[in-house]
Copies of this chain bind each other. A is one copy, B any other.
Amino acid sequence: MKLTVTASLSFMMAFTLSGQLIAATRSEPIEPIKPVQSINLGMVELGKKLYFDPRLSKSGFISCNSCHNLSMGGTDNLTSSIGHNWQQGPINAPTVLNSSMNVAQFWDGRAADLQAQAGGPIANPGEMASSHTLAVDVLQSIPEYVMEFEQVFGSDKITIDEVTQTIAEFEKTLVTPNSRFDKWLLGDNSAINQEELAGYNLFKNSGCTACHNGAAVGGRSFQKMGLVAPYQTTNTAEGLSAVTGKDADRMKFKVPTLRNVALTYPYFHDGAAGTLGEAVEIMGQIQLGKTFSDTENAQIVAFLKTLTGEQPSFPLPILPPSNENTPKPTPFN
């Protein structure tokens, strides 16, 4: 009984001591990121190692983290990525952060979920250039991995489905809560300043939240790039039509999350916009038919910077070594 009373008093004191806090979450088209629920920890720890393991590539040099670098907002900050044999990727690498909230994966949504996505780059000749068979053979040759898979899945026979499932489970933990904007959404009035608030109101009232909404501030739908004016690009990606075969889906791309957008430059599927100011200007023109003034643009950019959340923090994983039975990487042939 005594313990209950103490706890209640502490709870009330928290709100008494900080005049800035209000009790209720704001009702807005953007929602705070919620803590991850229902995670298989053994799978996460295994998937974390695999995410950092370059032996899933033919060269032994490229890991998931090479292009979705968790030191850099879950991206490579390049216009398009570098793949096996220094091949230039066709499209800008989207951030892995908060990607579990996406309606589908890849810009064209060709993977239904994170697990389906994870298998793609491993076997893509322009990316990691391995094969699912080779990747599994590498892991199966390493006793520490075999033991860990057995712990998680109850079998010492590793499958590619298990590999991608563990990577996806790790990726589900890569959420970035507690951005300043989330704190504001949760009732802390002092978390964002007047310029940032003006930027958010402009963002909302101009129609940006029609697509950039929800907890991920995007990621929920496919939209045409160039809704009111055509988008000029030399990039040949055609978006959703490559998946559906429908001409009406040409240049429809998954709306990217704006979470951590200050970290995930350059912008758009072709990586053509180098700065947030440039991205806001172009979006206004081709999606909304609006030309933001310099002041308005700066306000929206200020708002966007409040969407940077706590980056995932964990010790760099230590990988189990290969042995004489492990297929050797072949970077140069």
Contact = CB atoms under 8 A, between A and B. Distances in A.
Interface of A: 52-55, 59-61, 66, 69-73, 76-78, 82, 85-86, 88, 262-263, 265, 274-275, 277, 311, 313-319, 321-324, 328-329, 331-332
A277 B323 CA distance: 11
Contacts of A313: 315-316, 318
A66 B77 contact: no
Contacts of A324: 274-275, 277
A88 B66 CA distance: 19
B52 A331 contact: no
Nearest to A308: B321
A119 B55 CA distance: 28
B316 A71 contact: yes
B274 A73 contact: no
Contacts of A82: 59, 61, 331
Q: How many copies does the complex hold?
A: 2
Nearest to A318: B311
Q: Chain A interface mostly helix, strand, loop or mixed? A: loop
Given A72-B319, A82-B331, A318-B311, A77 B52 contact: no
A103 to B, nearest CB: 27
Contacts of A332: 88
Nearest to A277: B324
A76 B52 contact: no
Nearest to A83: B86
A274 B88 CA distance: 31
A329 B81 CA distance: 12
Given A76-B60, A328-B274, A332-B88, A70 B316 contact: yes
Contacts of A317: 71
From A71, A88, A275, A323, name the one whose CB has the most chain B CB atoms within 10 angstroms. A71
Contacts of A70: 316
